Amino acid sequence: MNYWLMKSEPDEVSVDDALAAPHSTVPWTGVRGYQARNFMRDQMRVGDGVLFYHSSCAEPGIVGIARVASAPYPDPTQFDRKSPYYDEASKKDAPRWTLVDVQVLRKTRTISLPELRATPGLEDLVVLRKGNRLSITPVEPRRWELVLALLDKG
Q: Whole-angstrom Cα distance, residue 87 to residue 79?
A: 7
Give residue 154's pLDDT. 67
CATH of the domain at 76: 3.10.590.10
Per-residue pLDDT reduced to its tens digit, 116-132? 999 999 998 999 988 88
DSSP class of 109: E
Query: Does the pLDDT at position 140 exceed 90?
Result: yes
Mean pLDDT of the chain: 95
Is the alpha carbon torsion for 35, 36, 42, 43 positive or negative?
positive
Span between the terminal Cα atoms of the chain, in Å: 26
- pTM here is 0.95
Give residue 138's pLDDT. 97
Percent of the chain at pLDDT > 90 equals 93
CA triple 44-47-52, angle to 5 deg: 75
Parent domain of 135 = 3-153
Residue 3, Cβ density class (10 Å: 0-12 exposed, 13-18 middle, ≥19 buried): buried
Q: Whole-angstrom Cα distance, residue 37 to residue 27?
A: 13
* Total domains, the chain: 1
pLDDT band at 133; cut points 50, 70, 90? confident
